[in-house]
Every structure is written in structure tokens, then in C-alpha cells.
A and B are shown apart, each in its own frame.
Chain A
Amino acid sequence: MLLPPSLHCRRACPLLAGCVRTLYSGRPRALRPLTELLLRRRPPSRLDARFRSRKSQEEEWRNRNRTVLTYIAAAGVGMIGLSYASVPLYRLYCQATGLGGTAVAGHNADQVETMKPVRERVIKVTFNADTHASIQWNFRPQQTEIYVVPGETALAFYRAKNPTDKPIIGISTYNVVPFDAGQYFNKIQCFCFEEQRLNPREEVDMPVFFYIDPEFDDDPRMARVDTITLSYTFFEAKEGQQLPLPGYSHN
């Protein structure tokens, strides 16, 4: 498609015409339009001034500048809009494909009632307890490991003691290793993400009630996983501080 070098086309879309002409720059027919384009870009010589008035040339330049500016402004606005839209789009993409560790569309809380334990697959769950340097609690698990099967609810205990003379409020978070197995590790009830207050010299038992999703056995990526480690970390919470629940867990 070679644009005929008509005046109409040249005024309306000078950029496009120039692009098309440079595309066909290999052919002898287009050499003349290419040189015309190159000639046009030079400052007006005495030769040009004879055929065109200065005013129309300036007008042409102004049109071309306006077109280029419009394109650039549109691209800029498009980029800004795309950066705002990328947050929900990325979230949708992550939920659809399950990348980035997010739970795929959340898990069904009613399945606890109907799930059947997978007896052949025994998994060892080890427990780890950590405290942040600033909190003075003694926090440790009451059992180092427990053997569970997917689809069966299990109970485990941690113990925390406040050896100081002042009440201390702690708040905890947890971590599951390996990360991929973390999406199958469902806690029904535990002691995390809410402030827990321990009075001076008080010692309490903290239970964790959890189960491993029976679909764990069907996942080929989990075929070699035999040990899951649950690790809790306690931090000190200040009075009245409200920590948000993690992630996009709006289930």
C-alpha cells in the first residue's frame, strides 16, 4: 500500500505518510517521496520560499506538532490509567492462576464436616516457637512434633509464660514451611493475630486447632512433602494498637 503523494494525505497525517514512505525506502519509486520528506524537514531555503509561503509552512509544522503532542498525551494518560488498573487486574490474575502464593479462591470452611481422612498419607507436623527480641515472654511448643493425616482435625499446644512483674500484651503471627504446603494448612482456631494479654507471672496453654486439606494428597507438587513446620512468632503489642488481618483474606 503506497500512499499517493497527494496534498490531502500529506496534510492530514504527515507522520503516517512519512512512516509508510520510509518503509518502502528500498524501492526506487519511493526514493523521491523520501527525499521530499527529508527536504521538507530542513529549514526553509530560498528554493522552498518560492513555492510555499512561510505562513502555510508554519501552519503545517504547528499541525504536526499538535498531532505528535496529542499522541504523546494519550500515551501518557494511558500509562497512568494502566498503572491504576494494574492492582485489581493483578489480583484477579493471581487468583485465577494461583501464582504468588495466594490461596486459590479461598477454601471452603464447611468441608470440615464432610472431609474424609486420607489414612495412607501420614505427615509429620513440627512446631516452632519464636519471640521477638523486645517481648519478654517465654514461649515454647508443648510437643515438638505430631503425626497427622490430611482430612483429620488435630490439636496442638503452645505454652507462654510472662516472667515479669508487668502485664504484657503479645500478638502473634505464623508461618508454614514449605510455602506450597501452606495453602493446604487450614487453622480452624488458634491464638494468632489477636492481642493476648498475660498478667504478671502467668502461664497459659495456647491451643492450635488445625487440619490439612485432603486435597493435599492429590497435589503432585506435594508428593514428596512429609514434614510441615508450623512456626509462631510473638511480638509485643502496644495498648490499643489495631493490627489488620493479613493478606487479602476476605473470606
Chain B
Amino acid sequence: MSTAMNFGTKSFRPRAPDKGSFPLDHFGECKSFKENFMTCLRENRFDNSRCRLQSKEYLECRMDNQLMAKEPLDKLGFKDLMDPPPGRQDQDSDAQV
């Protein structure tokens, strides 16, 4: 569709991903985490908001097995799922999703 000569219409421009490409998991090291995540999705009618914990665990597995660059999880949007620092635990525990 992007090769059609429609000068008036907008075309899609693919953008490179922010953090590049995931290396392939050839040995299936994080397969169990992925299965957890898929099961959670199927149970929750594919609602992503309910399965964020499992996706966080999958990404942590990838980071532990050198399949992803290590990054603090709040940079990946998991700030609300991370353990709050000690001393503020009673304030944040009911603010969790």
C-alpha cells in the first residue's frame, strides 16, 4: 500500500524501535514465563492491564539471561509494579494497580 502513487493520502512510515531488536531466544530460556503470560491473558480475556506482572517477569527473565539489555524497570513503564522503597510501604501498597 505504501508503494501506491497516491500523492494526497498519508502513508505509513515505519519507525525503528526505541531500544532496538530483541535477540532471539534460541534455547527457550524464558519460555515458561511466556507461557505464564499467555495463560494469564487467556484467563483475563486478553486484557493487558491484568497481566502486567507476568510481562514484567518475562522481561526480567530476558534481562537475566542476556537476552535484553539491563534497564531499570521503571524506564520500561513498570513503575507501579516495582517494590516501593522501605519506609513508604504503607502509603504505596494501596496505590498499586
Binding site for B on A (CB under 8 A): 99-103, 109, 112-113, 115, 117, 142-143, 145-149, 152-155, 157, 173-177, 179-180, 182, 186-194, 196-199, 202, 204-207, 209, 211, 245-247, 249
Contact = CB atoms under 8 A, between A and B. Distances in A.
Interface of B: 1-2, 10-22, 24-26, 28, 30-31, 34, 37-38, 41, 45-49, 52, 55, 58-59, 68, 74-79
Given A146-B48, A245-B16, A247-B14, A190 B78 contact: no
B76 A112 contact: yes
Contact of B13 (A102, A153, A198): A102
B48 to A, nearest CB: 4
A194 B20 contact: yes
Nearest to A172: B21
Contacts of B55: 153-155
A182 B10 CA distance: 11
28 contacts: A101-B10, A112-B76, A117-B49, A143-B38, A145-B46, A146-B48, A147-B48, A148-B48, A149-B49, A153-B55, A153-B77, A155-B55, A175-B1, A176-B12, A182-B12, A187-B17, A189-B22, A193-B14, A193-B21, A194-B21, A204-B24, A204-B25, A205-B34, A207-B58, A211-B77, A246-B16, A247-B14, A247-B15
B95 to A, nearest CB: 13
Given A147-B48, A176-B12, A199-B26, 8 more contacts: A101-B12, A145-B46, A148-B48, A148-B49, A153-B77, A175-B14, A204-B26, A205-B28
Contacts of A191: 21-22, 24
A103 B74 contact: no
B10 A188 contact: no
Contacts of B48: 146-149, 152, 154-155
A207 B33 CA distance: 12
B71 to A, nearest CB: 10
Nearest to B69: A189
